[in-house]
Amino acid sequence: MAKQLTPKKQRFLDFIRSFSGDHDRAPTFHEIMEGLKIKSLGTVNWYVKELEKIGVLERGKYNAKRALSLLDQSTGNELPLLGLIAAGYPLEAVENRETIEVPISYIHPDNYVLKVKGDSMIDDHIEDGDYVIVRQKAEASQGQTVVAFVNNEATLKRYYLKPNGVELHPRNPDYDVIRVSAEDEFRIGGVVLAILRQYE
């Protein structure tokens, strides 16, 4: 099980993990300051000490400001599983505290996982019971598969911005296009990066 961290400590740890994965080395304190927009080295040092106390981070004895090691590798490839997403008709996405193991290349502080319910995206090989890895962002390009919230209900669809407004397209002919009107409350919760499927 993942250790319970405050959101700020988790963000700090996630940055070190993501940076280390991208650069094959741990970030320096100055790189952490810049990446997380922290104003002082003292604050970075405090976070490192706090994470050392709970056993998820270790500072090397030499060149200590660079030699940071992640100790809790069992949780190094997990993302939060935030609930269900409808690939069909809109369904409320319910947040919970579970995590799910994903390929290490998808570990990023802005990524999360949703479990798919429904079959409206089967032509994109997204099936009922699959998991999707999502990058949290508020904008999308034409044709990208997104987590869309329409009047606070979440659905998984392809996003298209048309002259008369947003359209959310299923990938199953049994389902209709969702047309978002000016009166609807609409936002994008993220863009799908990958699909995970578990076999019994």
**pLDDT of 21-59, one tens digit each?**
787 788 888 999 999 999 999 999 999 888 888 777 777
Exposure string over 135-163, b if 16+ CB within 10 A, otherwise e: eeeeebeeeebbbbbbeeebbbbbbbeee
Q: What is the pLDDT, as a whole number, of residue 35?
A: 93
Q: What average pLDDT score do residues 71-95 get?
A: 63
Catalytic (active site) residue 3:
no
Catalytic (active site) residue 18:
no
Q: What is the pLDDT, as a whole number, of residue 89?
A: 54
Other beta carbons within 10 angstroms of residue 61's beta carbon come to 7
Q: Which entry of 8, 65, 120, 141 is annotated as an active-site residue?
A: 120
Q: What is the overall mean pLDDT for the chain?
A: 83
Q: Which entry of 39, 74, 157, 181 is annotated as an active-site residue?
A: 157
pTM tops 0.75, yes or no: no
Q: How far, rounded to the nearest angstrom, does the alpha carbon of residue 73 sit from its chain's CA centroid?
A: 19
Exposure string over 99-132, b if 16+ CB within 10 A, otherwise e: bbebeeebbbbebbbbbbbbbbbbebebeeebbb
The pLDDT of residue 105 is above 90 = no
For the chain, domain boundaries: 7-75, 78-196
CATH architecture of 78-196: Ribbon (2.10)
- Of the options 3.40.50.10150, 3.30.300.30, 1.10.10.10, 1.10.1270.20, the CATH number for the domain spanning 7-75: 1.10.10.10
